[in-house]
Each structure stands twice: as C-alpha cells, then as structure tokens.
Structure 1
Amino acid sequence: MTGARRLLLLGGTGEARRLATRLGSPDPAGTERIEIVYSLAGRVREPALPPSCQIRIGGFGGAAGLADYLRAERIDAVVDATHPFAATMTTHAAQAARATGVPLLVLRRSSWREQPGDDWRRVPSLAGAVALLDRFVLPGPRPHSDPAPRVFLTTGRTDLALFAGLHRPWFLARSVEPPTGPVPPRLTVILDRGPFDVAGETALLRRHRVDVLVTKNSGGTMTAAKLAAARDLGLPVVMVDRPPLPPGVAAVDDVDAAVAWVAPPWPR
C-alpha cells in the first residue's frame, strides 16, 4: 500500500483519546503513517480532543450513511471506541463494515464487577431502572423524613427524560452540561466532570442524604469511586447492564490491544 492508511476512530471516551495519541506518535507499534479521522457525535460543546487528528463532528445518517462515508473517504479500517452504551452507533458501525468490507474493531473498557459488600440490583436496561425505582422501597431505618427514596442518578443528562414520569423519588443528577428536555419534577443537578475520588463521593452522598445510586455499568476509573462510596455507606446500587455487542464483531478491552490490531496487516 502506498501513502498513509486512513483510520476512522469513533471517539468520545478516554480510551479513544489515548488510542488516537498513541497512533499519532512516531511509528506506533511499527506501523507506517496513519491518518486518523476522529469522529464525535457532537453532544458536548467543548469535548476533550486528541492531537494530530482530523476532527469530524456530527452523525453519519445511519448505517447506510456511514457506509457511504467509508467509501467516499477511502477509509481502510474503523475502531469504534465510543461509550459502552452507545449501542446504536456500534450497531451502525457493524452494519457499515459488513456492507463495505472495511475491518472493524470495537474498543470497550472492562465492565465493573460486584465486590464483597456491594448491594447491586441489576437491571437489563434503563427502562428496567425506571420500573424498579417507581416501586423502590428501602429496608430498615431512614436517615431522613422523606418517605420517597433519594436517588443519585448518574446515567447521563440525555437519559433524564426517561425518569421524568417518576414523581415519587427525589433525584440528584450530575452531568458535564445542563440537561435539556423533560426531567423528573424533584431534581437537583450538579455540573461537574470526573475523575472523582472516594472521599468526595462519600461526602456528596452524605450531604444529599442519598438512599440509592443508579448507574450504567460503564467501567473504567473515571467514575468508579461512587461505587466504593456506596459500598462503604451500605447503599444499594441499581446497576444497568451493558447492551450486547453485535454478533461477530471483534472486540478488545484495552488500548494496547487496539494498537496491536492496527499494526499491519489490517484484518480483512
């Protein structure tokens, strides 16, 4: 092959930025020069961006639009390093890869695993979390007089609308940017960006008298401290399981393995 190979990196995570930085360094893993197109959905106004990449912001227009883009831009391979819950994007990437014959790798950090002392209530989806919270009853004495559960909701601002119909619980939500659209009627929002530590998360849960934590099983270290804080305080955690990957898709869980996959020859 002559000239630089072109890699479409579907990003937006810390792993995506680290991979882009590694691949943009001189001679990563013995590869020839790689032109990286770093693609973001555009949901955050000021995203953290890697150096030495062509940046693309916005959607592709579904699987067919992504397939057209791969052909038009002469993309040689795709790495999907989007959020573990970006199921629609991953499905579209798998469909576009099959349609064009362009090799695809999914980079997903490992899931969190339940530890001794944890009290996880696992649900298969956000809809399952909504249903569980609607009837949630905490055992034992309450640290406050509110008869409804006080919920720390950390599933992301775009998911708040799913909980807007719940009038009984009180919600504390944290996001990088203010939420838009419908939100629960009893809601307090904190604007903040990780990483967070256990001491800070413990203080936050105590200050707001939180009864239950709701989170997606995103994995990683940026926001894992809330799980340790909930464990230390004996709080239950409603844990939303990850959506499954499309069948037949190659996947790795660390940046080193993704760099090795990019090393020539790329799979076909």
Structure 2
Amino acid sequence: MLGGTSEARALAAELVRHGVHVVSSLAGRVRAPRLPDGEVRIGGFGGARGLATWLRETGVRCVVDATHPFASRISQSAASGTGEAGVPLLRLERAGWHAGAADDWRWAGSLDEAAQLCARLGTRIFLTTGRQGLAAFAGLDQPWFLIRCVDPPDPPLPARCEVVLDRGPYTVDGEIDLMRQHGIDLLVTKDSGGTYTAAKLDAARRLGVPVVVVRRPSRPRVHTVETVDEAAAWVLAHAGAIGKASKDEREDGI
C-alpha cells in the first residue's frame, strides 16, 4: 500500500485484522509520521521502474494507492509500475469538497493561480496548502500569512508571515478561535477532501471568510474507490482469488 493518509492507516488496520500481510510504503516527507498497522517501509522506489522491480522481487499480489489527492507523481509511478509488473492496482481517494450555499469559494487551477487570487482578495491570509509549494506565495509582499504545517517549511517564504506547526484533526471552534485571533480575511487550501481538516471550511463559513481552493491535479485513469470499506473488499476479493487459484493448482498437480 502506498500510504500516508488517514484512509491508508484505516485500511491497513482493517486488512491486518483480516490476516492480510500489508506493507505500507511512506514517502518519508514527514519527520514523525503516524505509522499504520502491519509492515512499514519508508522512502521511494526510484520511479516506476524501481517500483516494478520491487513488486516482482517481493511477490506483491496487489497494490492500493492511498496517497494524498495531490501526490500525483506517486500515483503516476504506481500506475506505470504496476502495469509493468502485471500487478492489479486500486486507487483509494476520498471525495473532494463541495461548496454550500453559504460558502464564498474561488477555485484555482494551481498554487500559482491561488497566489494571484491572494494578491487581490486578502490582507491577512490563512495558508493551509502544506509546506511544499510555498514558494508560489513568496513573491507577495503586501499580504500577511499565517502558515500552518506539520513540519517546519523550507524557504522561500512570504516576507510577512507566521508559521504554526500543528497536525489535525482540528475542531470548528478551534479554527474559529485561531482565525479570529489572527484577524484572518482569506483562507487558502487544497481540495484535500474528507473530514480530517474540513473544520477550517466550516469556520470560514461561520465567519464569512472567503476561501481559495486549489483543484486536484489530473491522475492516471485507474480503478478508483472512495471509501475504506470498498478498498478492503477489493483487497480481500483479490486475496480470496489468490487462495482459490493456489488450491486449484495443487489439486491439478501443478
């Protein structure tokens, strides 16, 4: 499993509970990641070809790509690597967020486009796009940014900013207090989806703060599900098929 998300951890726990041998691969970008149940490996494979080689050498029977919705390079390598190795691939991707009638959202196609909107829309901006890609906002001299990350971000950063290190899940009341404390008049986020970090959107709605939402990048077209239960059923079905095939081969004397 290519993991790093809350859904990946939940899926790993469910599969281990069913006796499935799970190897979760984490990219290693977070200094102290929350480790899932089962076996864990940290670090890349060396691209699609390296992944294909690892899959063949270890005898992996199926792969679940449960990475973050914005980890598009990993998903591309997963599609290419599993195709080369002939290993079934499932994409587990949580549903994206949708604006309600009371929301004031602007969609951006990239971080660069989001930065352009910031220059026009906000003076005190809550930036929650993660520590990668902050360079897109570094050239904005007028707005002040409250930047929230799990780990300290690397420069370049906006000239006027404060960094808060924190990890979700968050509460609506906590997000409201944070945004009021810093006088936030614009929220910037990626369309990560799910409930883990959605409290900031509820807080922005209640405070009447507009939101800039960065759209998800395009991904390879592979079989995709949105829930842990669906992903678990897919893996268990493959595990059952593998077990039946092995039994049939033994009965046939193969």
Q: Where does structure 1 differ by over 6 angstroms across 4 or more consecutive aligned residues?
A: none
Aligned equivalents of 1:237 and 1:251: distance in 2? Answer: 28
Tell me how far apart the structure 1 counterparts of residues 104 and 11 of structure 2 sit (CA, whole Å).
34
Partners of 1:243 and 1:59 in 2: CA distance: 21
How far is the alpha carbon of 1:82 from its aligned partner?
Answer: 0.6
Counterparts of 1:201 and 1:20, CA distance in 2: 30
- Matched residue, 2:207: 233
Matches within 5 A, 1:86-101: 86-101=71-86
Question: Corresponding residue for 2:190?
Answer: 216
Could you say which residue in structure 2 is the equivalent of 1:43? 29
2:233 is aligned with 1:260: yes
Per-residue CA deviation, residues 173-215 of structure 1 (Å, 9 max, x unaligned), is 1111111231111110111111111111111111101110000
CA distance in structure 2 between the aligned counterparts of 1:265 and 1:69, rounded to whole angstroms? 20
Give the match for residue 107 of structure 1. 92
List alignment gaps of at least 5 residues for structure 2. 243-254
Q: Distance in 2 between matches of 1:77 and 1:265?
A: 7
> 2:168: which partner in 1?
194
The answer to which structure has the higher helix fraction is: 2
> Residue 21 of structure 1 is aligned with which of 13, 16, 34?
13
Aligned equivalents of 2:3 and 2:188: distance in 1? 25
Q: Deviations over 1:92-146 (max 9, x none)?
A: 1011111111100010111111111100000112121122223x146xxxxxxxx
Report the alpha carbon displacement of residue 264 of structure 1 after superposing the two structures with TM: 2.8
Secondary structure at the aligned position of 1:174 is classed as strand
1:151 aligned onto 2:151: no
Please state whether the residue corresponding to 1:157 is helix, strand or coil: coil
Could you tell me how far 1:250 is from its partner in structure 2? 0.5
Amino acid at match of 1:112: W
Is 1:177 equivalent to 2:151 in the alignment? yes
Alpha-carbon separation, structure 2, partners of 1:128 and 1:252:
29
- Consecutive unaligned residues of structure 1, counting only runs of 5 or more, are 1-8, 139-148
TM-score (norm 2): 0.91
State which drifts further: 125-134 or 84-93: 125-134
Map residues 107-126 of structure 1 onto 2, 5 A cutoff. Answer: 107-126=92-111
**Number of residue pairs matched?**
241
Alignment equivalent of 1:207, drawn from 178, 181, 204: 181
Query: What secondary structure sits across from 2:21 in the alignment?
Result: strand
Where 1:111 maps in the other structure, the secondary structure is: coil
Which secondary structure state, in structure 1, belongs to the residue aligned with residue 146 of structure 2? strand
Deviation at 1:79, TM superposition (A): 0.3
* Aligned partner of residue 173 in structure 1, secondary structure: strand
Deviation track 1:240-260 (CA, whole Å, cap 9, x = no partner) reads 11112212x000000000011
How far apart, CA to CA, are the structure 2 residues paired with 1:54 and 1:110? Answer: 27
Question: Quick one: distance in 2 between partners of 1:150 and 1:242?
Answer: 25
Among 114, 118, 122, the residue aligned to 1:129: 114
Please tell me the root mean square deviation across aligned C-alpha atoms, in Å: 1.5
